[in-house]
Amino acid sequence: MAPELAEEISQLGFPKLGALSSAVVAWVLGQVEDPRLVVALSALKERRVSDRIRDQLWELVQELDELAWGLQESEAVDETLVGYVHAFAQARSVNALWYALLFPASSEAVAECMFEAQAAAAT
């Protein structure tokens, strides 16, 4: 992330930090389908997050990362590369939501959320 952007984020107050992380997540999550996301997105919208919701989301991140790593280590080339890129992007997208669910929002959490979203979008 550009240092100028990180500096701007560090100057934002709690309401704007929350709104920024919500916008980033909405932008990047279009490619992931999982029932755990419905619950997590609802919690984000209502700003009511439990450890259980965050734990379930972290579990999804781990599942997607394991899928990506398994595909990356596979010997098949073309099909596997596409699958790896897709699984990696999904994991980063879900991880962006995981960071967005940190309350109260902090500039560090928003920066991590944006970093994960950027990684997902770059694939």
| 30-49 pLDDT, tens digit each | 767 888 988 998 898 888 88
pTM for the model stands at 0.76
Angle between helices 78-100 and 51-73 (to 10 degrees): 160
pLDDT at 78: 65
8 Å CB contact between 36 and 57: yes
Confidence of residue 20 (pLDDT cuts 50, 70, 90): confident
How far is it, in rounded angstroms, from Cα 117 to Cα 23? 11
How many folded domains does the chain comprise?
A: 1
Range of the domain at 22: 3-121
